[in-house]
Amino acid sequence: MQRIHTFLDLVLAQGGSDLHLVAGNPPRIRLHGIAYEVKYRDLTADDIYNLVFDLIPENLHSDFKEKGNADFSYDYGASGRFRVNVFQHLGGLGAVFRVIPTEVISLNKLGLPPVLKNLTRHRKGLILVTGPTGSGKSTTLASMIDFINEERHGHIITIEDPVEFVHHTKRCLFSQREVGTHTPSFSKALMSALREDPDVILVGEMRDQETIHLALTAAEMGILVLATLHTNGAAPAVDRVINAFPAGEEPYVRTMLSTSLIGVISQQLVRKTDNKGRIPAIEILINNAAVSNLIREGKIDQIENVIQSGGMVGMQRMDTALMRLVDAQLISPEEAYFKSRVKADFEALLEGREVDESKTPSDTPDSVNMN
């Protein structure tokens, strides 16, 4: 236990986001999006077992043996909390520890657009936060929930796998439930939540048709629902929700979504020009009459045009967000080019520059020291 704490202390001291332990390799720490080797010997399968197996909660032991992986949170006292995935692979065991900040960062400190506050002021409907793994979705959701906690009284239920940010009562009462510990599934917890007098429900991930349907139902019943999806873009998120259902149910689902959707926040993290951190680039879709009509008619491919013309009401394309970060000299033109969707729009910024996507920043180390 002492050795794993040494590695966790190193991640926290370096300001890393993840610790990777894989048998046959030295430990690695992800700093600002790049995974660096720790200057340490290769870990054996027995090393990994001794480091992490005792951390797995007893109620997950049988599930781990059956499925070969386990997800849980690990509370490291005052130092912090970690979201942990332990898995079996060809060389033995592996584990990834994701750092969960001990304090929720406010929307202002995260530098997120002010329109997000307006979205969270709605009393009912569905807000989707989307993006690839590791794009900061959980952090954004936690900040939005914290903003609600500061602004109004109510009952907030979070359903997560596992529980990440621990919220404390300011004005709202919190019920935080963990899938696998307090409830068998997201859908079961959502079904129960509908009878628990909630004002706000946070769904850690909408993984299946039943969960999506219950989230839409809750939003129509007068509850504010915030949920995540793994999609790259606001329009694809809308498409994912609709396509989760059989073709015969799509007209009904489109109608539900067109009236209950508040907005979609799609984000990715981009490296800052000083290579000492990352900041979010945000695409925002706000449901208005035009968007609602396109959803209802199944013309999802035209939503991008509405986002492009909706700047006055707070909408923003991903490439617009990236260009603004370049103009503010917060990110490099190369970083914007690699993260953009329409790369031709950024090619003029790269004239005279040598672009190498695989190149690591010159002032970052090849490895991380244990001392």
* 229-247: pLDDT as tens digits: 999 999 999 999 999 999 9
Q: Is 342 within 8 Å of 326 (Cβ atoms)?
A: no
pLDDT of residue 371: 55
Which whole number is the average pLDDT over 19-38? 94
62 C-beta neighbours (distance < 10 Å), count: 9
pLDDT one-digit tens code per residue, 282-295: 999 999 999 999 99
Mean pLDDT over each residue of the chain, to the nearest integer = 91
Is the separation of the CB atoms in 20 and 28 below 8 Å?
yes
Above 90 in pLDDT, residue 274? no
Give the pLDDT confidence score for residue 42 in this predicted structure. 95
Question: What are the beta bridge partners of residue 330?
Answer: none
Decide whether 2-102 matches 107-316 in CATH topology.
no
Q: Does domain 2-102 have CATH number 1.10.150.50?
A: no
Q: Which residue has the higher pLDDT, 79 or 75?
A: 75
> What is the pTM (predicted TM-score) of this model?
0.87
Q: State the pLDDT at residue 359.
A: 47
Whether the predicted pLDDT of 366 surpasses 70:
no
The rounded distance, in Å, linking the Cα atoms of 292 and 307 is 13
Residue 164: burial class (beta carbons within 10 Å; 0-12, 13-18, 19+): buried
Residue-level pLDDT at 362: 39
CA geometry: angle at 116 spanning 306 and 346, to 5°?
A: 55
Assess whether pLDDT exceeds 50 at residue 26. Answer: yes
How does residue 276 score in pLDDT terms, banded at 50, 70 and 90?
confident
Work out the pLDDT band at 370, boundaries 50, 70, 90: low
For residue 103, name the pLDDT band (cuts at 50, 70, 90).
Answer: confident
**Average of pLDDT values for 297-311?**
96
Determine contact, residues 190/200, Cβ cutoff 8 Å.
no
Over residues 322-338, the pLDDT tens digits come to: 999 999 999 999 999 99
Instruction: For domain 107-316, say whether CATH 3.40.50.300 is its number.
Output: yes
Non-local (6+) Cβ contacts of 124 within 8 A are 219, 221, 222, 223, 224, 260
Tens-place pLDDT, residues 219-229: 999 999 999 99
* Domain locations in the chain as residue ranges: 2-102, 107-316
Strand bridging mode 278-286 / 172-178: unpaired
Conformation bin of residue 39: beta by default, left when phi > 0, alpha when psi is -120 to 50: beta
Confidence of residue 250 (pLDDT cuts 50, 70, 90): very high
- The 3-state secondary structure of 25-43 reads CCCEEEECCEEEEECCCCC
If DSSP codes are grouped into helix, strand and coil, which group holds residue 319?
A: helix
> Residue with structure tokens 């690699």?
338
**φ/ψ of residue 99, rounded to 5:** -70, 130
Tokens in use for 277?
Answer: 């951190």
pLDDT band for position 59 (cuts 50, 70, 90): confident
